[in-house]
Amino acid sequence: MVLAALMTACGSTGSSTTTEATSDTTAATAAVGRAQFNGDAAYELTRQQCDFGPRVPATSAHAKCADWLIATLKTSCDTVILQTGTVQTATQGALGIKNIIGIINPDASQRLLLLAHWDTRPWADNDPDPANHKRPVLGANDGASGVGVLLQLAQQLKAEGTTLGIDIVLVDAEDMGENDNEDSWGLGTQYWAAHPHVQGYKPLFGILLDMVGAPDATFSREYYSMQYASGVVDLVWSLAAGSHFKNVQGGAVTDDHVFINRAGIPCVDIIDMRSDSDTGFCPEWHTIDDTMPHISAATLGEVGQTLLNVIADLEQ
Ligand SMILES: [Zn+2]
């Protein structure tokens, strides 16, 4: 993902459309009747993805990780679908992609869509050392963290049960884009939006996780999420666990949720945004330093707990 140009025009000047900050979100207690989300297990599932190496599309590490993701989801989901397709990249020509979809309670009419991208960027082009700009990103935070939370969430829902339908869509080829070229990002999501796994697919809403693992993460109300789905932002942030969710307006991020919203499904992005950095993101973003030492089980736990709280709320 990348910060949209809008950020400099809007986010930093505090335009009139900015949501009033009321107060920081206070810690929510664990969802009634549910076990606490296991952040340590999500951390382990994040690490296991990194053990494959960078998951750059069209590499053997990517193929091996896809097999592992499918096998892992099969232990917790009722149905697992591998969606393959071909997309056009901005700089690399045609590319085969793999979207991996885990379905819980396929017959439930009330459904929640949960997304994270599982690919990693082929180029660490924000690395402070230009010699690293053509090296791939390991993506502990940018890729593996969101997937790790969703894999663990599926395990807990399997163990504890849910009446809600849950669709976990792990999208490919999010991170091969170019600055100032919005449609070059989220290629797997754009493919899925054009070819949903169920005809006429209509969940209540979607939640995207992206870069949810840093110890000092800040999850503010991302701009496009507010534009398309402010009611969902209100709900999710009101149920948020821990101290990382902030009731403040964030910048605009070109990320998978933009294409989900364009397809008519309200979708919010839980993404770590930094108002004190030039890139808008954490220092490891698109560098070779996006590695496990910068991942916190506690942060993963708070994000997973927030999802459990949302699920419990929708079940009522
Ligand atoms: Zn990225």
Asked whether the predicted pLDDT for residue 14 surpasses 50, the reply is no
Q: How far is the CA of 158 from the CAs of 15, 77, 93, 162, 195, in angstroms?
A: 44, 7, 40, 8, 27
- The mean pLDDT value for 27-55 works out to 85
| Residue with the larger pLDDT of the pair 7 and 216 | 216
- The mean pLDDT value for 241-257 works out to 96
Binning pLDDT at 50, 70 and 90, where does residue 29 land?
Answer: low
Residue 14 Cα, ligand 1 centroid: separation in angstroms? 25
Residue 287 Cα, ligand 1 centroid: separation in angstroms? 10
- The mean pLDDT value for 267-295 works out to 96
- The mean pLDDT value for 30-35 works out to 62
Residue 188 Cα, ligand 1 centroid: separation in angstroms? 14
Asked whether the predicted pLDDT for residue 274 surpasses 90, the reply is yes
Asked whether the predicted pLDDT for residue 261 surpasses 60, the reply is yes
Q: What per-residue confidence (pLDDT) applies to 212?
A: 98
- The mean pLDDT value for 163-167 works out to 98
Residue 54 Cα, ligand 1 centroid: separation in angstroms? 12
| CA neighbor of 271 nearest in space, from 194, 205, 219, 216 | 219
Asked whether the predicted pLDDT for residue 48 surpasses 80, the reply is yes
Asked whether the predicted pLDDT for residue 16 surpasses 80, the reply is no
Share of the chain above pLDDT 90, in %: 88
Q: What is the pLDDT of residues 174-196, one digit of tens each?
A: 999 999 899 999 999 999 999 99
Q: What is the pLDDT of residues 112-122, one digit of tens each?
A: 999 999 999 99
- State how far Cα 40 lies from the chain centre: 18
Q: How far is the CA of 228 from the CAs of 7, 25, 204, in angstroms?
A: 16, 21, 14
Residue 1 Cα, ligand 1 centroid: separation in angstroms? 4
Q: What per-residue confidence (pLDDT) applies to 30?
A: 53
Q: What per-residue confidence (pLDDT) applies to 37?
A: 98
Q: How far is the CA of 124 from the CAs of 94, 226, 275, 279, 310, in angstroms?
A: 21, 29, 21, 13, 34
Binning pLDDT at 50, 70 and 90, where does residue 20 land?
Answer: very low
Residue 137 Cα, ligand 1 centroid: separation in angstroms? 9
Binning pLDDT at 50, 70 and 90, where does residue 1 land?
Answer: confident
| CA neighbor of 287 nearest in space, from 140, 128, 55, 124 | 124
The chain-wide mean pLDDT, for the chain, equals 92
- The mean pLDDT value for 274-288 works out to 95
Asked whether the predicted pLDDT for residue 311 surpasses 60, the reply is yes
Asked whether the predicted pLDDT for residue 140 surpasses 90, the reply is yes
Q: Classify domain 2-315 at the CATH superfamily level.
A: Zn peptidases (3.40.630.10)
Q: What is the pLDDT of residues 86-106, one digit of tens each?
A: 999 999 999 999 999 999 999
pTM over 0.85: yes
Structure tokens at 88: 């056009």
- The mean pLDDT value for 18-37 works out to 53
Residue 121 Cα, ligand 1 centroid: separation in angstroms? 6
Residue 107 Cα, ligand 1 centroid: separation in angstroms? 34
Q: What per-residue confidence (pLDDT) applies to 218?
A: 97
Q: What is the pLDDT of residues 231-240, one digit of tens each?
A: 999 999 999 9
Q: What per-residue confidence (pLDDT) applies to 32?
A: 56
Q: What per-residue confidence (pLDDT) applies to 35?
A: 80
Residue 80 contacts residue 74 (beta carbons within 8 Å) = yes
